[in-house]
Amino acid sequence: MKKILLFTFLLAMLTSLFAQDQGGTSEASLLLDLKKAKAAYEVTKQKYENDLKLYNEKAVSLNDLNRSKNELLTREVDYQKLILQLISQQSYITIEKAVKYQSSTGEKRVKITLQSALEGNGEYLEQFKDHFDVFTPEMRAGKVFNIYVSIVDIENETILGSPYEYRIPSITLGGEGVADFELLKDVENLKVSLNYYNRKDGKNIYLKKDASVNSIDIASLQFSQEADLSSQAVYGLTLERFSTSDDAYRLMVLNLPRQITYEFYDETSKISQIKFAQGVNTKNLSLRVYLPDRDDQEVVIDQPIQFHVVALTADQYSRFEAHASEPFDLAKMPDYCSGHEALELIPRGKGKIELRANSLYYEINTDEKVEMTARVKNAGSRRLDNVKLIAENPMGWTTLIVPDLIRSIDPEQEVEVKITITPPNGGGVGAQEVKLKTEALADNRKVASEDKTIRIQLNAKTSLVGTIVLILLLVAVITGIVWFGIKLSRR
């Protein structure tokens, strides 16, 4: 009866496997070999039993009996090898879930849930119980032992998880095993690689989000920035949803001084709330922070300002508004918002030079000099160092600047300088230009210079005697004309 059941079972397996596609041809071939080995085993077993009876009746020799026994053992081993091979091929591990989540410390992790698909193995064991002594402990226990799991980048086959390979000691028949990895590279899909019973298997998986929490992961690569006063700093933000809800989230910035304003942008559109579409779990935004023109007690140059970007649901925003007048406790951040990111802004002063003079146009004779006063002012928000005035003169001209080097000028302060411009002896007359340039450093950065151009009209020197003679001649001519006119009128 057992033989009939076993034969019926193997025949059913063979029929089922032949009905499958090409992927099952190896198992079908194995079943045919198993059937052939079983028939050979049954024949040698019957022959050994017959030879044993004949040996007891002194009809065959001991050598003949030993040959029959050795042949039986050989056929039995061949048969058992095929049984073990067939059973080992039925051991299968399925990937139930692959969930991406965020730990309490903020690191991104992936949890892989595996299940043993050995439901048919019990039937195999029952059918082959006459050869139970050849089964391995794994087969007898109904478990799959030593499953090695790793998560791999689909594009370049690089391991993405820590540990690089996770060992699950065993999974009971129909039971589950869990492998938990730290995600070393943030991806939305990956390959789950399995290695057990000398079998390697891999599946490309799109990661699910953990539906047990309603959280938004906010990250910025430029979390700390420097910006000059009266300028702006732009933070690129990546928001990733770890939730299955379709809530809208309000974006806010906390703990910024009131003098600093901000705006959120989605590409070119200004926004204050976001909502994730179906199947979309990641959004890229930008935060623009605008600094005031001047520093004060709250916005101090070179002093970092710590602040937070938060995402709030409607309920969280209502609770936050109720405590808006109270100092915000950063320790309660997870209770008040769905996601947050700490950012840093370092205000930097900006140096600016202003060179001012009452007049930039002069007329002099060839034997005269231009003597003028100018003021160098620090119109920026950072101290100016090593302020130097340089003159670019026409050929033969000289310019004396006192002082020509100013060690430092504080913001809103100015320094007076004396400038003397001397034309060359025997030079020609006409219009000339002298350019004044300024050089300075602010926080070891070169400050853009402001150039001024002084225009000078150089005239020839006139003789005093000649001028008096010309005047006397002019007076004589006028007197003669008047006298002549009087004479004519009397006639």
| 161 and 227 belong to one structural domain | no
Residue 430 lies in a domain: yes
| 118 and 190 belong to one structural domain | yes
Structure tokens at 217: 């992961």
| 405 and 375 belong to one structural domain | yes
Taking each helix axis as running N to C, give the angle between helix 25-56 and helix 2-18, from 0 to 180 degrees, rounded to the nearest 10. Answer: 160
How far is the CA of 329 from the CAs of 321, 333, 335, 430, 466, in angstroms? 14, 7, 10, 74, 91
| 275 and 204 belong to one structural domain | no
Q: How far apart are CA 339 and CA 332, in angstroms?
A: 12
Q: How far apart are CA 120 and CA 132, in angstroms?
A: 16
CATH number at residue 370: 2.60.40.10
CB neighbour list of residue 37: distance below 8 Å, 6 or more residues apart: 75, 78, 79, 82
| 83 and 137 belong to one structural domain | no
Q: How far apart are CA 440 and CA 413, in angstroms?
A: 14
Residue 131 lies in a domain: yes
pLDDT in tens, 412-448: 899 999 999 898 887 677 888 899 888 888 888 888 7
Residue 182 lies in a domain: yes
Q: What is the CA radius of gyration of the chain?
A: 49
Residue 34 lies in a domain: yes
Phi/psi of residue 359, nearest 5 degrees: -145, 145
Residue 13 lies in a domain: yes
CB neighbour list of residue 35: distance below 8 Å, 6 or more residues apart: 10, 14
pLDDT in tens, 152-171: 999 899 999 999 999 999 88
| 124 and 228 belong to one structural domain | no
| 108 and 49 belong to one structural domain | no
Q: How far apart are CA 350 and CA 381, in angstroms?
A: 5
Query: What does the pLDDT read at residue 2?
Result: 41
Q: How far apart are CA 294 and CA 131, in angstroms?
A: 90
What is the domain extent for residue 105?
A: 93-209
Residue 469 lies in a domain: no
Q: How far apart are CA 479 and CA 491, in angstroms?
A: 19
| 339 and 254 belong to one structural domain | yes
Phi/psi of residue 367, nearest 5 degrees: -105, 10
Residue 168 lies in a domain: yes
- Interior angle at CA 91, CA 87 and CA 97, nearest 5: 170
Structure tokens at 340: 């947050």
Query: What does the pLDDT read at residue 194?
Result: 92
Choose among 16, 15, 78: nearest CA to 43: 78
481 burial level (CB within 10 Å; 0-12, 13-18, 19+): exposed
Which of 348, 381, 403 is where one domain is finished? 348
Which of 90, 113, 138 is where one domain is finished? 90
| pLDDT-flagged residues of the chain (< 50) | 1-25, 119-120
| 66 and 173 belong to one structural domain | no
| 75 and 170 belong to one structural domain | no
The model's pTM is 0.55
Query: What does the pLDDT read at residue 133?
Result: 57
| 106 and 84 belong to one structural domain | no
Query: What does the pLDDT read at residue 6?
Result: 41
The number of domains in the chain is: 4
| 146 and 267 belong to one structural domain | no
133 DSSP assignment: G
Residue 487 lies in a domain: no
Which of 90, 124, 150 is where one domain is finished? 90
